[in-house]
Structure 1
Amino acid sequence: MEKIDTHCHIVPPGWRKWCEEYGWDKPDGMPCIPEWSAEGHIALMDKLGIKRSILSITSPGTLLKVGDFALAKRVTRETNIEISQICRQFPDRFGWFASLPLPDVEGSLEEIDHALEFGASGFAVMTNAQGYYMGDSRYDPVFEKLNQHKAVIFMHPTQCCSLDNPEADKPLAQYPTPMMEYFFDTTRAVVNLLLSGTVTRFENLTFLVSHCGATLPPLVERFSAFSTRMLKSSEEMTSERVKEIFSTRFYFDLAGMPFPDLIHGYLRVGTPERLLYGSDYPYTPGAVVEILNKTMDEQMKELFDQEQLQKIFSGNARELNL
C-alpha cells in the first residue's frame, strides 16, 4: 500500500558542517550524524512503497550555540535554502518542513515568509528551544503569524533543557536522549500547548506529534485533572476536551517503535483518522526501518480495516496537502 512519510529527515551538507563546528557531531548522545543522500533515500522509499517523503532536520535544529541568535538565523536561512534546492530536484518525491531560529522571535517571523516563498510544506519546531517550550507566551507572535498561514507544525523532540543553565547535564546523560527523553520532552511540549491555551487561541494551526503520542496517553487523565480540579486553570481542559482536540487539531505519526504496545495506548486517547506514517530515516537506519515496516504492516492489519490503513499510510497526509 502506497505511503507518504511525514517523519523522516535530511542531513544537508551545510547543516552537517555547522553541527560539527559547534560540537553537535554526536547529537543528543547518538554516536554520529548519519549519512544521507537523496538517491539513497529514494531507493529506500521505492523498496518500502513510499511515494513521497516530507523532509526536515532533526535535533538540535538550528540553534547550535546558546544565546547566539545571529548564528541561529544564519544557519536557519542557509539550511532552509539548501533543503529547498534539494527538494526542487525531486519535486515528486520530496516535500519539506522549514526550520525556525527559535527562541529568536523576530528572526522566526522573518523566516516564516521566506520559507513559504521557497515552497515549505510546513514548519519543523523543536519541543523546546533553549529551555522555552512550545506554548510559552513569548512565542505568541510566531504562532499568530503561523496561524494566519494555517500552518502545519511538525513537533520534533529534542533534549530537555534548563532555563537557568541550558548547558547543564541532562537527566541520565549516560543514555542517548532519543531512547527515553525524546518521549518525555514531547509530552512536556504538548501539555504546555494545551494548558497555556495556545492551541485554542490559534485555531488554524495543525500540530503533528512524533512517535505515536510519546508518553501522553497514560497522562491525559492526570494532567487534565490537575488543570481543572487543583490548579483551576482558566483553560477548561478536561480529559474529554483533550481527546476532542487530539481528534481535530493534532495528528500523530508512527515513527519509532509503536508496535506492539504503544499503539494501544494511543488508541485510548486518539483515533486512526489522526495517524500518519513515519519512518524516522536516516536516524533509524534503513535496515532497521525495513524490519519495523514489516512489523507495522503485519500488526496494523490486525487493528485497522483497509480503508483506515489507506488513510493512515497516505490519505491523512494528502488531506494536509503534504
Structure 2
Amino acid sequence: MSSINFDRLERVDVHSHAITPKYREFLIQTGHQNPDGMPAIPEWTPEQHISLMKETNITTSILSISTPGTYLLPFNQSLTKEISRTTNIELSEICAAYPQHFRFFASLPLPFVAESIAEIDYALDTLGAVGFCVLSNANGVYMGDKALDPIFDRLNERKAIILMHPTSCKILSHAHCQSGAAASDSDCGTEMTVVNPLQIPSGLLEYMFDETRAVVNLLLSETITRCPDIKFIMSHAGCVLPLVLERVAVAMQTFFGAGVDSNDMKRLLRERFHFDLAGLPWPDMIHALLRIVGPERLVYGSDYCWTPPALVKTLIQKMDEGAEEIWREDTIKEVYAGNAKKLFGL
C-alpha cells in the first residue's frame, strides 16, 4: 500500500488548453473541425475545467491555445493577427474572472515579425500573460529560423517563458519560398502541405518528431545561447529529443564541423529548459529524459481539454505509481507543483 497520499498532493498544470467561444468559431470558419486529424473540437468551459481541477487537486492551470494555433490560414496576415489578439483577450478575461484558478500563455501571430513583436508587449503589459505558447512550426517556419530572430530577441528582452507545443509538420508547396522568406504575404505562395505519411492523427506520432525538430533547430542555430533570458518548457517529456540528441550533436560535428557539443547541449537543457509531463512519460519515456535532466526541471501537465477527463485521471494514476517508484515524497511535491511555482513566481 502506498505510503504517500497522492490525493492530497497539489498539482500546478502548465500544459492545459482552452477552446474559447470565438476561437471555436475561427476553427470552424477556417475548416478546422477536425484539427490535426482529431475526431472533433472538444467542449470546454471554465466551469468544466475547474470541476476537473478540484477532482485532481490542480490548484492552478495555465491556459493556452493548442495546435493548430492562431495561424489557421497559411500566410493570411490580417486573419492571423485578428485570431491571436482576439483569443489572447478571451483568455485574459477568463483569468480575470477566475483568478484563483487560471493564468494564461498568449499566442503570437507567427510567422509575421512586426505583428508578433507588438503582441508580445501587449500580452505582457496589457493582458497579463505569464508567457507564450509557441507551436513547433508556424506554417513551416520553425523556431530557430533566422526569419524569427527579431521575435526571439524581443522575447529575450522581456525575459519571457515559452511553452513549446507540437503541431503537424508542414512544408511550403512553392519551391521559390525558402526558409527565412515566410515573414510576409508577398514573399511566399499560400499553399501548404501537411506531412503525415501514415495518415493517422498527428498527435499520435508526428507531434513527437515535430517538436524535437524545433528544439534541435533552436540548439543548432544557437538561438538558445543568443537569447539567454528566455526560459523554455518543452512538452511531452522531451518528445524523442533524449533519444536522438547525442546522434545529432556527434553527426553535426563529425560530418559538418558545426553544431554544439553534446555536453553543451545537455547543459543548456538542464539550465534553460523545463519539461512538462503531459502525455505518457511513464513507464518508459521518463527514464530517457532523466538521463539528461534532474527532477528539478520537471513540471506537471494534463493536456486537458484535448485529453478528456477520464484519460487525465488515468494518466495521473500512472504518474503517481511511476513517481513513487523513483522519488521520495518531497521530490514528487516539487515535480507536481513546487518547480512550476518557482518558475512562474506563484
State the TM-score, normalizing by the size of structure 1.
Answer: 0.97
Equivalences for 1:1-322 in 2 at 5 Å? 1-116=9-124, 117-164=126-173, 167-172=192-197, 174-233=199-258, 235=259, 237-321=260-344
Q: Secondary structure at the match of 1:255?
A: coil
Instruction: Give the whole-Å Cα distance in 1 for the aligned partners of 2:253 and 2:168.
Output: 29
Q: C-alpha offsets along residues 51-105 of structure 1, whole Å, 9 cap, x if unaligned?
A: 1000001001100111101100011001100110011011111000000000011
- Which amino acid is 1:192 matched to? N
What's the CA shift for 1:4?
A: 0.2
- Which amino acid is 2:62 matched to? I
Comparing 65-74 and 156-165, the one that deviates more: 156-165
Q: Secondary structure at the match of 1:175?
A: coil
Instruction: Give the whole-Å Cα distance in 2 for the aligned partners of 1:10 and 1:154.
Output: 15
Q: Secondary structure at the match of 1:292?
A: helix
Instruction: Give the whole-Å Cα distance in 2 for the aligned partners of 1:204 and 1:174.
Output: 39
Q: Secondary structure at the match of 1:270?
A: coil
- Structure 1 unaligned spans of 5+: none
Asked if 2 retains the 8 angstrom alpha-carbon contact of 1:53 and 1:93, the reply is yes
- Which amino acid is 1:106 matched to? A
Instruction: Give the whole-Å Cα distance in 2 for the aligned partners of 1:53 and 1:286.
Output: 14
Aligned pair count reads 320
Asked if 1 retains the 8 angstrom alpha-carbon contact of 2:172 and 2:192, the reply is no
Q: C-alpha offsets along residues 94-138 of structure 1, whole Å, 9 cap, x if unaligned?
A: 000000000011110110111012100000001000111000011
Q: Secondary structure at the match of 1:241?
A: helix
In angstroms, what is the RMSD of aligned CA positions?
Answer: 1.1
Matched with 2:181 is none
- Which amino acid is 1:146 matched to? L
What's the CA shift for 1:47?
A: 0.7
Instruction: Give the whole-Å Cα distance in 1 for the aligned partners of 2:308 and 2:196.
Output: 26
What's the CA shift for 1:197?
A: 0.4
Instruction: Give the whole-Å Cα distance in 1 for the aligned partners of 2:36 and 2:97.
Output: 31
Instruction: Give the whole-Å Cα distance in 2 for the aligned partners of 1:53 and 1:107.
Output: 27
Q: Secondary structure at the match of 2:163?
A: strand
Instruction: Give the whole-Å Cα distance in 1 for the aligned partners of 2:157 and 2:193.
Output: 37
Instruction: Give the whole-Å Cα distance in 2 for the aligned partners of 1:196 and 1:229.
Output: 17
Q: C-alpha offsets along residues 259-288 of structure 1, whole Å, 9 cap, x if unaligned?
A: 111111111222111000000001010011
